[in-house]
Amino acid sequence: MLAAHRVDDGPPEAPKSDGRLSLTAKQVVGLPLLAAVPLLALLGVFGERAATAVARSNAVEVTVTYPARFRYRQVQPLRVAVRNTSANTLDTVLVSFDTAYIARFSSVRFDPAVTSAFVVPVSHLAAGASGLVSVELWGEQYGRHGGRIVVTARGDSLSVPISTFVFP
Amino acid sequence: METVLRVVVVYVIVWACFRVVGKRELTQMTPFELVTLLFIPQLFSRAITRQDYSMTNAIIGTTTLFALVFITSTLSYRFPRFRAVLEAQPTVLVTRGQFHRHFLDRERITADDVFSAMHKAGIADLRDVEWAILEGDGKIAIVPRPPRDDGRGGLLAD
């Protein structure tokens, strides 16, 4: 490899030596920590993850898909699917979001729109039909944010606990 | 306040990484390392962050970069073949006062560059140079010719 860069009567080469890895105490402690972060990241520890919670009552089945963790200033969806499991049409199903939970995020957008403080009505749900409520969450405050989604139909209430961790 | 805290956190992390990796990365930058350090923030920052400006992403990116620097420097030290691939090899530009025109052309080093290095080494005449070597870090090392006794009490170079 060196021959292409050298001349026959060039300067003497450095003596060959067996390079052995030698670490200082700081490196013994620090290098595993240094390596751990990207390795954990590769394993998805610091990545986005969605979770699903399902609850049922006599009239409805609720499936909540929510971000279990995501990063600061990223946008993640929260979806509440309400299925009418009864034999009759449900005139109104109310999906209520915990104010304390929603307040931890910014630029929260509801589809359909809320009628009052974080309550979304799903109207005229025929037997066997499903309604979907979508929410976009923008991670503004980091840390763990817990809350509940309460679905009320025909006087029955279902409560689904959710928890989201926002990385700083 | 948050900005200050974030800067402090990044500063401490970068400092700790440099302390862990060692002095070599601070003092002996090869052209490859220099280009990497200069261009990555400018050209690839958006591609790396993907609009993710979280502290978590910054820490992951920083630790990944430092881990790569340590791995490559360790492999380079431990395995000469790896070093030969990763780092530039020295090139002899002058031998005993004679330019190697082929190597000068290939490395795009002018005679002025060699003379500038000679002057910094305190040598004015090319004939007083035993070897001029373009090192892997891009610097030209000058090895002066040993002075020879002319038999009359003075020292002469060939």
Q: How many whole angstroms separate alpha carbon B90 and alpha carbon A102?
A: 63
Domain-embedded: residue A71: yes
Please report the residues numbered 100 through 129 in chain B whose beta carbons come closer than 8 angstroms to any beta carbon of chain A: 100, 103
Among partner residues B67, B96, B103, which is closest to A35 by beta-carbon distance? B67
Residue-averaged pLDDT of chain B? 78
Residue A69's contacts (CB-CB under 8 Å, 6 or more residues apart) are A47, A48, A49, A164, A165, A166, A167
Give the tens place of pLDDT for each residue, A134-161: 999 999 898 999 999 999 988 889 999 9
The phi, psi pair for B144, rounded to 5°, reads -70, 155
Q: Would the pLDDT of B157 be above 60? A: no
Same domain membership, residue B12 and residue B62: yes
Same domain membership, residue B77 and residue B15: yes
Among partner residues A5, A37, A167, which is closest to B63 by beta-carbon distance? A37
Same domain membership, residue B98 and residue B67: no
Same domain membership, residue B7 and residue B66: yes
Q: How many whole angstroms separate alpha carbon B37 and alpha carbon B45?
A: 12
Same domain membership, residue B29 and residue B62: yes
| B14 at A interface, C-beta within 8 A | no
Q: How many whole angstroms separate alpha carbon A98 and alpha carbon B45?
A: 37
Note whether B63 contacts A19, CB cutoff 8 Å: no
Query: What is the number of domains present in chain B?
Result: 2
CA B152 to chain A, closest CA, distance in angstroms equals 29
Same domain membership, residue B132 and residue B72: no
The phi, psi pair for A71, rounded to 5°, reads -105, 160
Distance of CA A139 to the CA centre of its chain: 10
Same domain membership, residue B58 and residue B43: yes
Nearest CA in chain A to B17: A34
Other beta carbons within 10 Å of A38:
20
Same domain membership, residue B29 and residue B45: yes
Chain A residues close to B57, C-beta within 8 Å: 71
What's the domain range around B106?
91-156
SS3 B156: strand
Residue A83 belongs to a domain with what CATH number?
2.60.40.10
Give the tens place of pLDDT for each residue, A2-57: 445 667 777 888 777 777 788 889 889 999 998 999 899 888 898 889 999 999 98
Residue-averaged pLDDT of chain A? 89
What's the domain range around A86?
49-167
Nearest CA in chain B to A74: B52
Note whether B80 contacts A20, CB cutoff 8 Å: no
Same domain membership, residue B109 and residue B79: no
Q: How many whole angstroms separate alpha carbon B130 and alpha carbon B123?
A: 11
Q: Which pTM does this prediction carry?
A: 0.71
- Sign of the dihedral defined by the CA atoms of residues A27, A28, A31, A33, in that order: negative
Note whether A20 contacts B78, CB cutoff 8 Å: yes
Domain-embedded: residue A43: no
In which band, very low, low, confident or very high, does the pLDDT at B102 lie, cut at 50, 70 and 90?
very high
In which band, very low, low, confident or very high, does the pLDDT at B22 lie, cut at 50, 70 and 90?
low
In which band, very low, low, confident or very high, does the pLDDT at B153 lie, cut at 50, 70 and 90?
very low
Chain B residues close to A24, C-beta within 8 Å: 22
Q: Select from B62, B86, B110 the last residue of a domain.
A: B86
Query: What is the number of domains present in chain A?
Result: 1
Q: Show the 3-state SS of chain A.
A: CCHHHCCCCCCCCCCCCCCCCCCCHHHHHHHHHHHHHHHHHHCCCCCCEEEEEEEECCCEEEEEEEEEEEECCCEEEEEEEEEECCCCCEEEEEEEECHHHHCCEEEEEEECCCCECCEEEEEEECCCCEEEEEEEEEECCCEEEEEEEEEEECCEEEEEEEEEEEEC
| B56 at A interface, C-beta within 8 A | yes
Residue B104 belongs to a domain with what CATH number?
3.30.240.20
Domain-embedded: residue A30: no
Same domain membership, residue B151 and residue B125: yes
Note whether B63 contacts A71, CB cutoff 8 Å: no
